[in-house]
Amino acid sequence: MEIDFTLRPDPAAAYRSLGAGSSVAVLFLHGLTGSPVVWVPIARALAAEGIDVSVPQLPGHGTSWQEMGLTAWSDWLGDAHTELGRLRADHDRVIVAGLSMGGSLALALAAAEGAPDEIIVVNPALYVDSPFAPLLPVLRHVVRTIPSIGGDIAHPDRDEYAYERTPVAPLSTFHRALRILREDLWKIDCPVTAMISGEDNVVGPRTLRALRSGLPRPPHIVALRRSRHVATLDFDAHTIAEAVLAKARTEAVESSPSETGE
């Protein structure tokens, strides 16, 4: 499978390729301060294989950090839930793949009613790994932004085009939501694949420990040994793409009638 990393005229715009006749759709969710650009190359590669895909632009993302400052976790989760519902209406099965905060959203969708059939999380966040995290409820009232958390990519020619600043108010809502999400992991019944980078300067190892201890059945762990946090644009992008395609093809076979009609 070929992956084209050529940027579109508007890299941050949503991307959808629907109507291929696929019984399976994949919903891709990007990370905090990021945009669809982190998933579009992989999504386009899957679309070329005949899989329906959707990469929404979450509220407050892909525009400016000032606009993001007006949004919250509930906005991002609501948008992801709405897109999941749209895909469910036209497909037998839906897989959700999320990077970083997108992985958190995928886990939240899986813990709720109307869950996806399977999720793939790439360096998901279950904690805000910053010494300032406990102070966020207070800090949001006195500090508007903190330095960017974006750009953690080993590949020298790739860029996720994340905001240059991270608004504190929405980050605080993320921090609060993750505490609830950790308590809700036991509700996740669908299969979970966790793809984890060997070097991650954004999400620490305690997230993987929380996944292993909190999920009702062990996740399938895939090591991304050559990538940092934004692994979907990094040296292991093909590994991620092949894993998502394998899941989509497997589900497509299972949900389609056999040639014998059985």
- 24-29: strand order across its sheet: 15-17, 52-55, 24-29, 93-99, 118-122, 192-197, 220-224
In this structure, what token pair is assigned to residue 201? Answer: 């300067």
Which amino acids are annotated catalytic?
100, 200, 229
Task: Enter the DSSP assignment of 218.
Answer: P
Beta strands 24-29 and 93-99 are parallel
| H-helix segments, 93-161 | 101-110, 136-139
- CB-based burial label for 205 (10 Å; 0-12, 13-18, 19+): exposed
Spatial distance between the Cα atoms of 140 and 95, rounded to a whole number of angstroms = 35
Neighbour tally for 122: CB within 10 Å: 34
Render 34-81 in DSSP notation, one character per residue: --GGGTHHHHHHHHHTT-EEEE---TT-SS-HHHHTT--HHHHHHHHH
* Integer Cα distance of 7 and 40 in angstroms: 9
